[in-house]
Amino acid sequence: MILDSLQQQNATALLSGDEAVALAAIDAGVKLGTGYPGTPSTEILETFETLGGRAQWAPNEKVALEVGIGVAFSGARALVTMKHVGLNVAADPLFTAAYTRLDGALIVVSADDPGMASSQNEQDNRRYALAAGVPMLEPSDSQEVYEFTLRAVEISERWQVPVLLRMTTRVCHSKTFVKRGTVTIPAPHTPHFEHDFPSRVMIPAYAKPAHRRLRKTLAEIAAWNDKAGLNELVKGSSSLGIITSGVAFQYVREAAPEASVLKLGMTYPLPVERMREFAASVDLCYVIEEGDPYLVEAARTAGIAVEGKQEMYRFGELNTARVRRILEDDSSPEAKPVPGKPPALCPGCPHRSVYTALKEIGCIVAGDIGCYSLGVLPPFEAMDSLVCMGAAIGVGLGMRHSLPPEEARRVVSVIGDSTFVHSGITGLVEMVYNPPESGHVVLILDNGTTAMTGMQEHPGTGRTLAHAHTGKVIFEDLVRSLGIRDVYVIDPTQDFEKFEKLIQSCLEKAELSVVIARRDCLLATRSIREYERCNEQQTD
């Protein structure tokens, strides 16, 4: 539908930022899009696939980025998408990919979630660009998303480095005008491989010069950013100037229409001289940025006199009203929003049975990330920890190792199917290798989909991103292959008492038990049936 409305030249459509990335990826001839679902990034790959691109879900962000690196080593263009915390998982390949020489393009989308609409922290991934030495672009609306994605491909190939495209919730999920065809970039190379050991094999002998090469490249990019760059200057009053980036630019324009504004399109490496010149051209120069004081610190380090925001505005999203307050130096308490209705597990959700049982038994529950995180809220209040993807197993084991026996025996790790594939498998390996004295019980809640982010497939469903049949990881076989003998597969909704008894009996043994509570997500059941029907027809 998006493409239909954009067929004609100069056509415009109302697109979300996520859709705009996908459209640009199509126009850039991206060979492969890969990533792991995570709000607010999920729709990028789904749209890319709908538009005819080759998109696939990886088991996690690290693998996705590694696949992307391979694509770029082959001379093709790769798009790798994830939410902000996904970049923590992918950080290992990112830092060293920066040292390598890419033949194609590698665009890594980091979808940050300031305000934590749907995340466990509000980390500011501009810090990653700085730490890894990877150029970062920050669009402020869907048109810029479209253009910056294409520019990112161009920059990546010109300097042979990965490029981070940092979006935020409001950029990803707001719909604004997009005009197609406003940027044209060189055509993609024909993929082929050339041996180049010093550029791609990061043993110390090659990595040492590679690091120097990276710093030299970054200096060149910084010089380009100063002279050409993707910055935008709004000429206004000479009494007030504002340096900003990303969606904060929109709030600034609305809150202070009279101000001069320097909007930075590339926030690493920074156009420091451009910032210095701008600050000198106005009587008072503010930096307005969402999240960490990243720009303000960089400006001050460079000796540029700027005003920043007060600490209270570091928390949560910015908006027009908050930008007005920052400019008025208003630090009085902000009006608290009336609390809305919190989300809850759907009526009839299979996770409900699981938490009812865990609560009745009195378990200590190391939890994880997914719909089942809602087990912490009333009426269940039956989840005791949530840290990051996959943490349930490690955290549960740590508690088993340290708690007094009567408490240790009540510890259960609860992890969803997609989360298990993402980063639970290594936790199980740890359990086999370093078993607690009291044993342990891991509960895999297999509802047949990545429910929380909107029903995406994963390697345990046996269907691709586009829902076609593919290889399937059978959890019970995988678990047994690790040497865990006490493995059960049970529908927690079919016979609740039987399920509760099973958990109880596992807790009483001092063994390593894995219980796979398998029942399709209620919201996904119909679609799953439909996908299976289509796939079977195709096989016939």
Partner 1 sequence: MNSRPTNVVIAGLGGQGVLKASDILADVAFSAGVDVKKSELHGMSQRGGSVSSDVRFGAHVFSPMVPDGEADFLVVIAPDQVAVNEAALSKGGILIEPSQINEASLPNKKSINVALLGILSRHLPFPVEAWLGAVQRNLPEKLHEANLQAFSIGRNQG
Residue type at position 46: E
Instruction: Give least dist CB 12 to partner 1, A.
Output: 8
- 530 sits near partner 1 (criterion: CB under 8 A): no
Site string for partner 1, 286-325 (x = CB under 8 A): ---------------------------------xxx----
Residue 74 vs 373, nearer CB to partner 1:
373
Instruction: Report the 10 Å Cβ neighbour count for 335.
Output: 7
Q: How far apart are CA 262 and CA 275, in angstroms?
A: 8
Which residues on neighbouring strands pair with residue 240, listed in sequence order? Answer: 284
Query: Which range in 87-95, 274-282, 446-454, 508-516 contacts partner 1 by CB under 8 A?
Result: 446-454
Specify the residue, 306 or 371, whose C-beta has the smaller distance to partner 1: 371
Q: How many CA atoms are closer than 13 Å to the CA of 37, on its beta-carbon side?
A: 22
Q: Which is nearer to partner 1, 192 or 341 (CB)?
A: 341
Token pair 């809850």: residue:
344
- What whole-number distance in Å separates Cα of residue 254 and Cα of residue 173? 19
Q: Which stretch binds partner 1 (CB under 8 A): 58-66, 247-255, 441-449, 480-488?
A: 247-255
- Say whether residue 333 binds partner 1 (CB under 8 A): no
Residue (199 or 260) nearer to partner 1, CB: 260
Contact 175, 14 (CB under 8 A): yes
Number of residues this chain uses to bind partner 1 (CB under 8 A) = 37
Q: Is 312 exposed, middle or buried (0-12, 13-18, 19+ CB in 10 A)?
A: middle
39 binds partner 1 per the rule CB under 8 A: yes
Based on the shown chain and the rule CB under 8 A, indicate whether residue 141 belongs to the binding site for partner 1: yes
Burial of 193 from C-beta contacts in 10 A (0-12 / 13-18 / 19+) = exposed
Between CA 392 and CA 401, with CA 395 as vertex, the angle to 5 degrees is: 135
User: For residue 88, which of 35, 128, 37 has the smallest C-alpha distance?
Assistant: 128
Among residues 11, 202, 346, 466, the one that binds partner 1 under rule CB under 8 A: 346
Terminus-to-terminus CA distance in the chain, angstroms? 30
Cα distance between residue 443 and residue 512, in whole Å: 11
Between 303 and 337, name the residue whose CB sits nearer to partner 1.
337
Closer CB to partner 1, residue 148 or residue 224?
148
Closest to partner 1 by CB, 253 vs 309, is 253
Asked whether position 117 contacts partner 1 by CB under 8 A, the answer is yes
Q: Torsion-angle region of residue 225: left (phi > 0), alpha (psi -120 to 50) or beta? A: alpha
The contacts of residue 413 (CB under 8 Å, 6+ apart) are 365, 366, 368, 392, 393, 395, 396, 397, 427, 440, 441, 442, 443
Q: Does the protein bind partner 1 through residue 110 (CB under 8 A)?
A: no
- Find the shortest distance in angstroms from Cβ 36 to partner 1: 15
CB 374 to partner 1: min, Å: 7
Q: Sheet holding 284-288: strands in order across?
A: 232-234, 259-264, 237-245, 284-288
**Based on C-alpha coordinates, what's the Rg of the chain?**
25
Give the residue, chosen from 453, 456, 461, 513, that forms a contact with partner 1 under the rule CB under 8 A.
Answer: 453
Question: Considering the complex, what minimum distance in angstroms separates the CB of residue 245 from partner 1?
Answer: 15
What lies within 8 Å, CB to CB, of 351 at 6+ separation is 345, 371, 372, 374, 375, 445, 447
**Residue 371 engages partner 1 in binding (rule: CB under 8 A):** yes
Rule CB under 8 A: choose which of 19, 20, 30, 40 binds partner 1.
40
3 touches partner 1 by CB under 8 A: no
Q: Least Å distance between CB 481 and partner 1?
A: 34
Q: Between 254 and 273, how does the x/- string for binding to partner 1 read (CB under 8 A)?
A: x-------------------
Stretch that binds partner 1, among 339-347, 392-400, 432-440, 488-496 (CB under 8 A): 339-347
Comparing CB distances to partner 1, the nearer of 92 and 381 is: 381
Phi/psi-derived region of residue 392, left when phi > 0, alpha when psi is between -120 and 50, beta in every other case: alpha
Using CB under 8 A as the binding rule, the residues of this chain from 165 to 204 that contact partner 1 are 169-170, 173-177
Report in angstroms how near the CB of residue 118 gets to partner 1 at its nearest. Answer: 3
Q: How far is the CB of 211 from partner 1 (least distance, A)?
A: 38
User: Is 343 among the residues that bind partner 1 (CB under 8 A)?
Assistant: yes
* Strand residue runs (E) in 459-502: 486-490
State the Cα–Cα distance between residues 25 and 233, nearest whole angstrom: 27
Give the interface segment with partner 1, choosing from 250-258, 265-273, 379-387, 525-533 (CB under 8 A): 250-258
Residue 521 binds partner 1, judged by CB under 8 A: no
**Contacts with partner 1, residue ranges (CB under 8 A):** 14, 39-40, 117-118, 141, 169-170, 173-177, 247, 250-251, 253-254, 319-321, 335, 337-346, 371, 374, 452-454
